[in-house]
Every structure is written in C-alpha cells, then in structure tokens.
Amino acid sequence: MTRLSTFLTVALVVTVAGCGDDAAAPAPDPTAGELDHDGDGVFADVDCDDDDATVLGPTLWYPDVDGDGRGDAAFPVRACADGLGVAAAYVADDTDPEPLCATDDTDACGVCAGGDAAKDCLGVCFGPARPDACGVCEGPGPTTWWYADGDGDGLGDPLERALACAAPEGFVANADDPEPGCATNDTDDCGVCGGANGDVDCDGVCFGGAAVDGCGRCAGGGTGVVPAVDDTDDDGTPDLCDPDCLHERRFIVQWDHVVHFGNGDDGEYTFQLVLHENGDFIVQYGNIEPYGLTATVGMQDLGGTHAVEFGYQTLFPTSRPTVFARRGDDATFVADYSHPLVWLDIAAVGEPVEVEDDHFAVVPIGFEFPFYEGRYESLSVGDNGIVAFAPPYGGYENASLPASGLGAFIAPLWDDFAPQDGGTIWVYTAPPTCEADCNGVVGGFGVPGECGVCLTGLEEGPPYDCAGVCGGAAAIDGCGVCAGGDTGVEAKQRDCAGVCGGTAAYDACHVCVGGTTGLEASDPESCPQGIDLIVDEEHVADTVSLDHVTVSEGDCLIHEGCVGGAGDRKVIRFATTIANIGSEDLVLGHPGDGGPHWHFDECHSHYHFEAYAAYRIIDVAAEQMLDIGSKNGFCVLDTAVYDPFIAPDGCKGYSCDDQGITAGCSDTYNADLQCQWIDVTGLPDGLYELVIETNPEQEIPEVNYVNNAAHVRVQLEGETVTVIR
C-alpha cells in the first residue's frame, strides 16, 4: 500500500492526451490498471482509434516514480502502441530494483543512498546510542587496563598497570609476565637474569668471596678456611696441599719433667698431647721411667656418655709410646697404637703455663677443635696430666672411665703431679708448614746439637755410638758385635739356625734350610697356601706377672667379662703376640663395615673382634679347665715384623681403621693393657696352666690349627706367680 500511495501522488499530476483529440484525459483508475485511451470515459476501453473497437493495445508500460529511466514491474499498464494515453512517468523498462530510489542503494534503515548513516553506534536505525570519550559505544569512559612490559618480552607485569583508552608506550594488554625484570624469565638463585647461578661461590653464597684454592678446597669468603697460597718449597703446589708439607695446624701441650706429688723418687715424667685441626689427637710418652704411677689414660665426652679408657692403674704407658686417636665420621674415636713416636719438643718455642697445684689454666687453642659433639676454641690445662673442654673438671684423684661426674676431657696421663716442685707445662699452636727440622721431620722441632746430631729433646746425654765416637754410626749388630761406623768391622746377622754370619735361610715353606742345618729347600708347590696364626709362647712366659686392679660396680671390665666382679681383683698379667706365619694376609677390614665377629661394645664405645683370642686357665692337679677367663680382640693390626723371610718388605701397615695382620708380621697386646689378664681372685695356691689361644673357634680359615695355642705353666703362691719352664 505504501508503494501504491506514492505512485498515486505522482500519477495525479500527469495529464494524458486522448488518442483522437487534444482534450485532457481523465485520471486513471488505480484499481483498474488501465487508462481511458480514447477519452470516452470508459477505462476498460482499449480502442485507440475512437471507433469503439475492442482491440487491446499491444504495449505494457511501467511507472518510473524515481525518474531513473527504469520502471516498476509491480504496476504495469497497457497503452496504445503509439503511446497515446500514456503519461510521461511511464517507461517501457520494468527492471527498476528500487522503484523509489533513483540510485538503487537504499541502506538497512530504508534511506536511499543513506550508507547506514541512520544507524547509531549499537547498529539501531535512528537509535540514540553514541560513542564515549574512548570511542566505546554506550561506555562509561576509559575502562581498559594495560600492563607494563619493562623487560620487552611482550608479557605484562600484573603489579604495574594503567587505565587508558589505548595502550600507553611500553604497556601491553596481558598480565602474564612471571618475571617482569627478566626478559628471558630465568632469574637464578642470586637474582641474576639468565645468570645460571654463576654468581654463587663454592660455599653456596651469592656474590660471596669463597673460591676453590690451589688445594681444591673451598676457601675464603664465609668458609672460615684460609686460602692456600704460600708455596714454601716453590714447587707450584700450595703448602697446605703439598704432600711434602704438614697440612693442619696443631696444638701441643707438653708436661716437661714434671714430678709425682710426694714421690719424686719414681722419676720425672715427660709426655705431651698433640691436637690436630681435623679432630685427631696423639698422646706421646717421651720419658716416664722409672714408672710409679696409677694413672688413667683415656677420654670422654660431657658426662661420660661416650668414653674410651686406654689404661687405668696399669703399666699401659710403658709399652705404648704413642696412642693415635683417629676421629671417625660419627664423632667417636679409634685408637691406633702403630703410629711412630715423633717427639715434638716445644720447650724452645712454646709458652709456659702457670697453674696452681690441682688447678687448671684456660689457654686458647688457636683453631676450632672438634671433640665428640662439641667444638672448642680454648681448653683448660691441668697440672695433673689432663686437659678439659667443659667443666666440671677432674682433680688429682684419677678415676676409671667413664666418670659421670666430670665434663669433656682428654687424659694423657692423669695422676697427681706437682709441677711447682719441678718441671714445666708448655703450650704451642704450630702452623701448617713445609719446613723440616734437622732430623728431616716436616713440622718437627729438632735442633742441632753436639757432634752435629739433631736433638729431639729426649736425649739423655751426648750421642756417642757403641765405639765411643761422638755422632758415630757404629751399632751393635745381630751377633752382639759393635760394627759399622769407624770400627772397620762389617755388621753381621744370625741366620735362621742362629749362626752368626751363617747362610741358612727359610725356604718357600718356611723351613730353615741350608748352612749348618743339612736340609735342602722344599718344593714351593708343596707349601700350603693361606693364613697361619700362632701365639708366641715364649713372649707369654716372659711377661707373666701378678697384679691387682680395683673395679667399681658397673665397670666396663665386668660388662666385657674381663673380671668376675667388683672390688679388688687379683689377676695374672701377660702379653700376647699373635703372628701370621702363613703365605696370605689376615684381612679383617674396618669394624664399621660389619661382619659376623665384630661386636660393638656400648660400654666403651668401640668394637671387639670376638673370634680373635681366648684366655683360659687349667687346674693342673685336677686336670680341669676352670670356668674363668676371657676373650680379647679390641684391635688387630701390624705391630712388628715377626719373620723377615715371609715379610722381606716389612708389614703393610694394617691398623685399627683397616684391621689385619700381614703375612710374616705380628700383633702384640702388651701386659699393661686392660683385660690382658686372667682373673684369679679367690683361686687357691697351686699349679696352673695358662692357655692363650688364637682363633679358638676356628672361624678364621687357616692352613694349620695345631699351632694356635700357647701353654704356659705357672705356680701361684700368695702374691707371687712363677713360670715353670
């Protein structure tokens, strides 16, 4: 209807001439779709010649309302072929796509040539919506957050943002940057972008000053380790890691010629304690003869939770010139008796310690010394042969260890000394060094003396040899003759047959052959191969003695089965030398590595090798083995060459850390050691036989078990014991 109304508006102003005259044609009937062609008032008339004929006009015409030359096909009319009666607004073309728009581009809002200009910003025709200040339709203003991209990686910092219509310079639309200060997003532990922890020193400290020194140690910075720089011998290797140098600081305490209180006749005692920076320490006895002490040798931690007693009221120091206590990873200690005595006389370089009788003086160590679970920079030196790290301190009355009422201490020789009546206590902190003394001992303190001989501080007189030559090289040979040096006598040794200068020797099967023996060497292939342990019977017999030991209730000696009870115990002491005369080493290894025969003694905090030796006694008259005795096996090690033929290159050096006995070497337990006895308390006088047997259960494979026991017969009478040969 809209289009028709528009058409009527146009059509009413058009005049159409009749076909046969000049009279104005009446307005067409819009409902008829036809014109009054001949002017006779009949609109259905199609007679163009006024003859009232009924011939229909052949031509269709279409209204061109918008005047674009194309007609609207929806409203055709018929007219005469000559055009008579057709208004000027009609055309013969019926192809107008938009009859009301001359340009044929009506927009979505119905506006001809409008170009959607009538739409608002929401797309609503003739709607009221308009863009805001940021160009956002119907928006409240600048609502967009932008995030700073300071490192230029295209990712924004969620903590630094700005509200703006468009991205400010250096800002992006996302907040995804995990490391706003690092474009590669790989900041290391020191806060360095892309640093890959290159600024962490060897101690794990960022920007620290620690570095690996010439010894391969992490030193400097906050480590507390001084970098190894000095190279005294100019060999290109710093002193602290040079194999020819002493690598650790040492603190040395030396009791020098001190006397026993109230008993100066038993000699002057010289002994020392050497603390190593790594926690090891050495007790050394320089001069303790004649020995008249009932001293304690050992150590314990605070309160005596852990304690090691090397000797108490025994002759221990007389047979063990050194005790090397090696600190283990678990802060406990293992004793090594094989360490050689290297006396470090500090009388010329040390500081004297002034200490009253039965008192202690605090002195600095010079470094931090680890002892059990503590670390100490100073200690208290006592006049009675003891150093203490923590109170309460021990007095002059030495005790068996552990001593629960005392603090942490080391007792090199704990007894009642009186330095004020004679002798001096020296202390000295010795630095690491590559320098050797005149004896060639690196870190030693020997000084040149008479005859050009380097003195250690233990010499009793001028160094004359057996020929009376000062500084001479003559010595007593194996035949008891002063030989060598300036004597002109060639030194000789006795052969295996006991002949001075003889030619007899042990063969491959350990048989003395040749020389005066009249025996031929054995076939090596016939010799048994393996371990062969023996007990030196002569050594047992030579060291038998009677002694008494005082044992308190709960003492470790009772726990370990060394005595039958507490109180005064009567014991027969003896030394035991066990030798390996086989062709293979006895190898036991480290106690902590385990094994069926290792037993950790909680009382003394050390291991026992229980299969090593057994001590028993036989009542000869009754021909009966008595139900007393003990087993022993604290530490199995090389103490000496027993048979130089089997061990021509010496012992391999088995120790308490790596236990065993080299083929041809021996291990000796001296008579002064604890448990180196048989408790004969209450045993009546009579004839008895001591049986000292190694490998008693035959749990160690050997080539021969027949020679495993030594039998020594003794007569027990009151307070004396006599060996019956």
Residues 495 and 5: their CA atoms lie apart, in Å, by 154
Report cis status (omega within 30 of 0) of the bond before 392.
yes
The closest alpha carbon to 307, from 325, 329, 285, belongs to 325
Please report which confidence band the pLDDT of residue 50 belongs to, taking 50, 70 and 90 as the band edges: low
Min mean pLDDT across 46-50, 65-69, 581-585, 589-593 is at: 46-50
Report the pLDDT value the prediction gives residue 250, as an integer from 0 to 100.
97
Report the pLDDT value the prediction gives residue 140, as an integer from 0 to 100.
57
| 634-675: pLDDT as tens digits | 778 888 889 888 888 889 988 877 889 999 999 988 887 888
Average pLDDT of the residues in 8-24: 34
Burial 598-621 (b: 16+ CB within 10 A, else e): bbeeeebbbbbbbbbbbbbbbeee
Please report which confidence band the pLDDT of residue 363 belongs to, taking 50, 70 and 90 as the band edges: very high
Q: Is the pLDDT of residue 165 over 60?
A: yes
Q: Is the pLDDT of residue 31 over 60?
A: no
Q: Is the pLDDT of residue 19 over 50?
A: no
Q: Is the pLDDT of residue 9 over 70?
A: no
Report the pLDDT value the prediction gives residue 110, as an integer from 0 to 100.
85
| 489-521: pLDDT as tens digits | 999 988 888 898 999 987 877 788 999 999 998
Please report which confidence band the pLDDT of residue 344 belongs to, taking 50, 70 and 90 as the band edges: very high
Burial 285-314 (b: 16+ CB within 10 A, else e): bbebeeeebebbbbbbbbbbebbbbbbbbb
Structure tokens given for 238: 């710093």
Q: Is the pLDDT of residue 20 over 60?
A: no
Min mean pLDDT across 26-30, 144-148, 222-226, 381-385 is at: 26-30
Report the pLDDT value the prediction gives residue 605, as an integer from 0 to 100.
61
Q: Is the pLDDT of residue 4 over 50?
A: no
Average pLDDT of the residues in 217-237: 83
Query: For residue 140, how many other CB atoms are within 10 A of its CB?
Result: 9
Residues 288 and 314: their CA atoms lie apart, in Å, by 13
Whole-structure pTM value: 0.51
Average pLDDT of the residues in 597-607: 66
Please report which confidence band the pLDDT of residue 601 belongs to, taking 50, 70 and 90 as the band edges: low
The closest alpha carbon to 365, from 420, 410, 416, belongs to 410
Structure tokens given for 597: 């025969």
Residues 663 and 643: their CA atoms lie apart, in Å, by 9
Burial 219-251 (b: 16+ CB within 10 A, else e): bbbebebebbebbeeeeebbbbebeebbbbbbb
Helix or strand (DSSP H, E) at 4? helix 2-11
Annotated domain spans of the chain: 1-99, 250-447, 462-492, 497-527, 533-724
Query: How far is CA 489 from each of CA 463, 472, 479, 481, 485, rounded to the nearest angstrom?
Result: 20, 14, 12, 9, 8
Calculate what percentage of the chain has a pLDDT beyond 90: 39
Please report which confidence band the pLDDT of residue 405 belongs to, taking 50, 70 and 90 as the band edges: confident
Helix or strand (DSSP H, E) at 2? helix 2-11
Give strand ranges (E) for 72-153: 77-79, 90-91, 144-148
Structural contact between residues 709 and 693, judged by C-beta atoms closer than 8 angstroms: yes
Specify whether the backbone of 373 is left (phi greater than 0), alpha (psi in -120 to 50) or beta. alpha
| 510-549: pLDDT as tens digits | 788 999 999 998 887 888 889 999 999 999 999 999 999 8
Average pLDDT of the residues in 108-134: 82
Structure tokens given for 149: 């991209």
Residues 121 and 596: their CA atoms lie apart, in Å, by 95
3-state secondary structure of 264: helix
Residue 162, beta-bridge partner list: 146
Report the pLDDT value the prediction gives residue 115, as an integer from 0 to 100.
83
Structure tokens given for 301: 């931690």
Min mean pLDDT across 203-217, 248-262, 596-610 is at: 596-610
* HEC sequence for 499-565: CECCCCEECCCCCEECCCCCCCCCCHHHCCCCCCEEECHHHHHHCCEEEEEEECCCCHHHHCCCCCC
| Average per-residue pLDDT for the chain | 83
| 230-268: pLDDT as tens digits | 877 777 788 777 888 888 899 999 999 999 887 656 778
Residue tagged 């009249």 (tokens): 518
Report the pLDDT value the prediction gives residue 603, as an integer from 0 to 100.
67
Q: Is the pLDDT of residue 426 over 60?
A: yes
| 566-585: pLDDT as tens digits | 999 999 999 999 999 998 99
Report the pLDDT value the prediction gives residue 252, as an integer from 0 to 100.
98
Structural contact between residues 35 and 59, judged by C-beta atoms closer than 8 angstroms: no
Q: Is the pLDDT of residue 218 over 80?
A: yes
Residues 621 and 619: their CA atoms lie apart, in Å, by 6
Query: How far is CA 161 from each of CA 145, 173, 181, 396, 528, rounded to the nearest angstrom?
Result: 6, 10, 15, 79, 91
Q: Is the pLDDT of residue 84 over 50?
A: no
Structural contact between residues 190 and 196, judged by C-beta atoms closer than 8 angstroms: no
Report the pLDDT value the prediction gives residue 22, as an integer from 0 to 100.
39
Angle at the Cα of 556 from the Cα atoms of 553 and 557, rounded to 5 degrees: 90
Report the pLDDT value the prediction gives residue 460, as an integer from 0 to 100.
75
Q: Is the pLDDT of residue 56 over 80?
A: no
> Rounded to the nearest 5°, which phi and psi values hold at 365?
-85, -35
Q: Is the pLDDT of residue 556 over 90?
A: no
Average pLDDT of the residues in 27-55: 48
Q: Which ranges in 295-369 belong to alpha helices (H)?
A: 316-319
Structure tokens given for 58: 């052949």
Q: Is the pLDDT of residue 18 over 90?
A: no
Q: Please, which residues have CB within 8 angstroms of residue 623's CB and are 6 or more apart in sequence?
A: none
Report the pLDDT value the prediction gives residue 720, as an integer from 0 to 100.
92
Structural contact between residues 282 and 274, judged by C-beta atoms closer than 8 angstroms: yes
| 406-416: pLDDT as tens digits | 899 999 999 99
